[in-house]
A and B are shown apart, each in its own frame.
Chain A
């Protein structure tokens, strides 16, 4: 009786589904709880931007527009040479072209670009999807704090480096008198930084 059992199974499955609560979230009423690192929109922390153009050059679909000019800064000390620096004039991302690959965020060496989970920026005209620096700066306020690393995760490189320096300083302060075994101390420098991961 494979036929009959199949029919009964169909009835049972659908009935069980009916007795359970649907997991549907009614979107405009219930806003979604997005996971950390959600790729909603790209925010610009323009204070950090040095107009290095790496993001614009790495962007696969060329959707980042950057204009800048050079300004000279008076010499720091009398008799010195004038210094020049880049000033950002325009920073725009065309979200109609952007494919949310995140290469610009990855490649930025000065931490000026961030992912924000904000996603409600639909427009009725495709040209309105090119957002200028003031809008991108506003989105910076919606960037969440990065989530803490997993308990068993490898320590971040910058944390490890900072810890190593701190440990070395502490070791130097604790035994200033003993200058004799400097070679041994150099060995000990490396130990705490690597030992801390375990």
Chain B
């Protein structure tokens, strides 16, 4: 592994990290608009508003970066970075295609990915605490409660795939994949994807943000570029959760086309899952905090446990 190879991989991951969230954001603008009978951005950049998010970025960069008087300044300034960077690190470990098409092969990849994903949520918690604002604190605490509730089904669902494949390495899981894993792990996939959305506090699980009740929760006091970084973290999170679901439960690069085009399959599956995330936001109302908790503990956790039992039974009896 020479220097060129490493820099190429890191450059690729960085490029994907900078580009894909913007693509998802733009897709959300347009898909949401058309689902509501609107057109969405039409002017920025000339052709159907393709440069809207670039324009948004320029606008955010021009705004004043305000830190409230009573805030814990260091934590307040650090929080957006804590929210954003974990997703960049997770992207390194996600395999895109066969034959080492991955930023870095990590043996305990799934452990690494899930651990780092959990760190990202801490950014909101830090921001909520450091803002010295009761709405931010409420949002931060709701974020924490949601993290506690949904981390468990997330890990249980991932554990089911690990049991099926007999390895913790993400490329290893994909090497062991066969098409009938999709129906076999269907419940686990549902649990993982739902819990992933909930950890990102995307609608319908966005009670920690809830602009109408607690004014964006932990982000109330943020402005300018730091607010933009939080938004970017949300969209990077969508990309990461969709890509992880595609890799763990939908077979990643496996598809009818030859293996050289495997990266296309990963991208396509990720894109479809991103669309589902956007669709859910448009179609469904926000759940209450207690409903979110009840859904996690009474629906997702039992489902995940049932999936693990199913995986174990099939693994022991049939394989």
Query: Does A7 interact with chain B (Cβ within 8 Å)?
Result: yes
Task: Fill in one digit per residue for B21-59: 1 if any A CB lies within 8 Å of its CB, else 0.
Answer: 000000000010111111100100000000000000000
Q: Identify which of A12-20, A47-55, A59-67 touches chain B.
A: A12-20
Whether A196 is near chain B, meaning CB under 8 Å from some CB there, is: no
Q: Are B284 and A18 in contact (CB under 8 A)?
A: no
B38 with A24: CB separation less than 8 A: yes
- For chain A, the count of residues having a C-beta within 8 Å of the partner chain is 13
Q: How far is the CA of A13 from the CA of B282 in the complex (A)?
A: 10
* Chain B residues within 8 Å of A13, by CB: 283
CB of A23 closer than 8 Å to a CB of B: yes
Please report the C-alpha to C-alpha distance between residue A17 and residue B279 in the assembled complex, in whole angstroms: 12
Residues of B contacting A7 with CB < 8 Å?
Answer: 283-284
Q: Taking the nearest CB of chain B, how far is it from the CB of A10, in angstroms?
A: 4
Per the 8 Å Cβ criterion, residues 81-103 of B in contact with A are none
B-side interface size class? 10 to 19
Q: Are B37 and A10 in contact (CB under 8 A)?
A: no
- Scan A118-158; emit 1 where CB is below 8 A from any B CB, else 0: 00000000000000000000000000000000000000000
In-complex Cβ contact of A15 among B38, B279, B284 (8 A): B279
**Known contacts A11-B279, A26-B42; A17/B284 CB under 8 A:** no
Q: Per-position contact with A for B251-273: 1 when CB-CB < 8 Å, else 0?
A: 00000000000000000000000
> How far is A14 from B39 in the complex, measured between Cα atoms in Å?
14
| CB-CB contacts below 8 Å: A1-43 with B | 7, 10-11, 13-15, 17-18, 20, 22-24, 26
Given A10-B283, A10-B284, decide whether A15 and B35 contact each other with a Cβ distance below 8 A.
yes
Could you tell me the distance in whole angstroms from the C-beta of A123 to the nearest C-beta in chain B? 24
Contact of A17 among B34, B39, B42 (CB under 8 A): B34
B283 touches A14 (CB 8 A): yes
Known: A7-B284, A10-B284. A22 touches B39 (CB 8 A): yes
Partner pick for A23 among B33, B37, B42, CB 8 A cutoff = B37
Q: Is the CB of B38 within 8 A of A22?
A: yes
Complex: chain B residue closest to A26, CB-CB: B42
Q: Quick one: given A7-B284, A10-B284, are A18 and B34 in contact (CB under 8 Å)? A: yes
CB-nearest residue of chain A to B283: A10
* Chain A interfacial positions (CB closer than 8 Å to B): 7, 10-11, 13-15, 17-18, 20, 22-24, 26
Query: Can you give 7 A-B contacts (C-beta < 8 A)?
Result: A7-B283, A10-B284, A11-B279, A13-B283, A15-B35, A17-B36, A24-B38
Given contacts A7-B283, A10-B283, A26-B42, 10 further A-B contacts (CB under 8 A): A11-B283, A13-B283, A14-B35, A14-B279, A15-B279, A17-B34, A17-B36, A22-B33, A23-B37, A24-B39
